[in-house]
Amino acid sequence: MKLSQFFLPTLKEVPADAQVISHRLMLRAGMIHQTSAGIYAWLPLGYRVLKKIEDIVSREQDIIGCQKVILPTLQSADLWRKSGRYDGYGKEMLRIKDRHERDLLYSPTAEEVITDIFQSHIKSYKQLPQVLYQIHWKFRDEIRPRFGVMRGREFLMKDGYSFDLDYNAAKQTYERIYESYLRTFKEMDLTAIPVKADTGPIGGDLSHEFHVMAPTGESTIYYDAAFETLPDAARTFATMSNLYAAAEEMHDVAQCPIKGEQLKSSKGIEIGHIFYFGTKYSKALGAEVMGPDGKQMTVEMGSYGIGVGRLVAAIIEAHHDDAGILWPKSVAPFDIGLLNLKQGDAAVDALAEDLYTTLRSMNVDVLYDERDERAGTKFADMDLIGLPLQVIIGAKTIKEGLFEVKIRKSGERKMLSKEELFNFIKAN
């Protein structure tokens, strides 16, 4: 993509109400545009990141056998009356009437709809387990939308729903998804701490929120320092669910098994939440299958959310410096920024254009800054949008035959021959 043609409305000044760093950087880097309170359009740069995150989330879900669907955002109130949540949900639910005065709502989550679909089609235990998920827009009329896409009103969420024959099978599904969440977040260079969450009237201990630590997080979490030193191989449900981690509301100093330095606390951003809720919805909506002994059994369910839009902000909170964003490679909107510092110089233009074409033919995603701008502006914009690698071309490149490469995260610079450059890009 050539920067002169790319829709990248970077800002020098950000609105004063943008308090947290991710919100400020997303606005400054032209990733999002606010259309009303808590509602954002994703502009090309932001959408590229959102899409990368969606792809990682989907891939990890598919690997463990979940199946992707897409459900309507507008749902009938009648289904929600069956589960008792139409009245229970409160003001966060956006209620709509159609032209026939029928009650609809904009989905804040989708347990009712998916359970209804399940019960229409699945009749035998032989078809279990099933995990269906979608990545789709949700609407919750948050009383105080804030921090940009971190707490929006309309936001992109991965929501998954599991159907199993009994508690043991449901628990296995839950553990499989728990572990896949850890891998999903790791792929985005985020270390997530699974915190036991309230299971309400269901009881048991099968509900976890996944938090990434950031000073701007809205939750406070307390956790065993062992979380920070666990080797990857030990990041399993069996090990991690036995370590202490609690949100502020649960955490009870007197009861806490961890004492002294071993107990850590931090602000956290909730990026995921998984929940086993047994037969709460299957009972209400009649989701039964025929069991092995020929008797009808009500299926055991769980639901599994990831804040896909919120993740973009959480990644920025975890990966930035004074100059801008530091995208992990896996979610970067482009792989490389190519800067032509001598735009208009025929030899430099030809070299830069040639490199741009070659890289693209190698399937490297390049953002080519061929604008007629000062070098300082080009450097600042490139640092702001945070692509992992910058290749800088100027008069010196022609004279010495060496390309300058800057690694955005470390600031390290290298002078490389053309061949070394290609090898370096392939290796990084």
H, E, C per residue of the chain: CEHHHCCCCCCCCCCCCCCCHHHHHHHHCCCEEEEECCEEEECHHHHHHHHHHHHHHHHHHHHCCCEECCCCCEEEHHHHHHHCHHHHCHHHCEEEECCCCCEEEECCCCHHHHHHHHHHHCCEHHHCCEEEEEEEEEECCCCCCECHHHECCEEEEEEEEEEECCHHHHHHHHHHHHHHHHHHHHHCCCCEEEEECCCHHHCCCCEEEEEEECCCCCEEEEEECHHHHCCHHHCCHHHHCCCCEEECCCCCCCCCCCCHHHEEEEEEEEEEEEEEEECHHHHHHCCEEECCCCCEEECEEEEEEEEHHHHHHHHHHHCEECCEECCCHHHCCCCEEEEECCCCCHHHHHHHHHHHHHHHHCCCCEEEECCCCCHHHHHHHHHHHCCCEEEEECHHHHHHCCEEEEECCCCCEEEECHHHHHHHHHHC
117 vs 250 by CB, closer to Mg ion: 250
30 vs 307 by CB, closer to ligand ATP: 307
Q: Which residue in the shown chain puts its C-beta closest to ligand ATP?
A: 307
| CB of residue 238 to ligand ATP, shortest distance in Å | 23
217 vs 337 by CB, closer to ligand ATP: 217
Residues of span 228-287 touching Mg ion by CB under 5 A = 273
Q: Which residue in the shown chain puts its C-beta closest to Mg ion?
A: 273
Q: Does 138 bind Mg ion (CB under 5 A)?
A: no
| CB of residue 273 to ligand ATP, shortest distance in Å | 3
Closest CA to 324 of 4, 47, 28: 28
| Interacting partner of 307 out of Mg ion, ligand ATP, none (Cβ under 5 to 8 A depending on kind) | ligand ATP
| CB of residue 273 to Mg ion, shortest distance in Å | 3
58 vs 340 by CB, closer to ligand ATP: 58
90 vs 257 by CB, closer to Mg ion: 90
| CB of residue 140 to ligand ATP, shortest distance in Å | 5
| Interacting partner of 271 out of Mg ion, ligand ATP, none (Cβ under 5 to 8 A depending on kind) | ligand ATP
| CB of residue 421 to ligand ATP, shortest distance in Å | 39
| CB of residue 390 to Mg ion, shortest distance in Å | 38
Q: Does 153 bind Mg ion (CB under 5 A)?
A: no
| CB of residue 91 to ligand ATP, shortest distance in Å | 14
| Interacting partner of 272 out of Mg ion, ligand ATP, none (Cβ under 5 to 8 A depending on kind) | ligand ATP
Residues at the site binding ligand ATP, with contacts judged by CB under 6 A: 109, 140, 142, 151-152, 155, 157, 270-273, 305, 307, 309-310
22 vs 343 by CB, closer to ligand ATP: 22
116 vs 159 by CB, closer to ligand ATP: 159
| Interacting partner of 160 out of ligand ATP, Mg ion, none (Cβ under 5 to 8 A depending on kind) | none
Q: Does 151 bind Mg ion (CB under 5 A)?
A: no
Taking the C-alpha atoms of residue 20 and residue 18, their distance in angstroms, rounded to an integer, is 6
| CB of residue 219 to ligand ATP, shortest distance in Å | 7
Check if the beta carbon of residue 266 is closer than 8 Å to that of residue 212. Answer: no
| Interacting partner of 310 out of ligand ATP, Mg ion, none (Cβ under 5 to 8 A depending on kind) | ligand ATP
| CB of residue 148 to ligand ATP, shortest distance in Å | 9
Question: What Å distances lie between residue 10 and 7, 325, 377, CA to CA?
Answer: 9, 13, 11
Binding-site ranges for Mg ion (CB under 5 A): 273
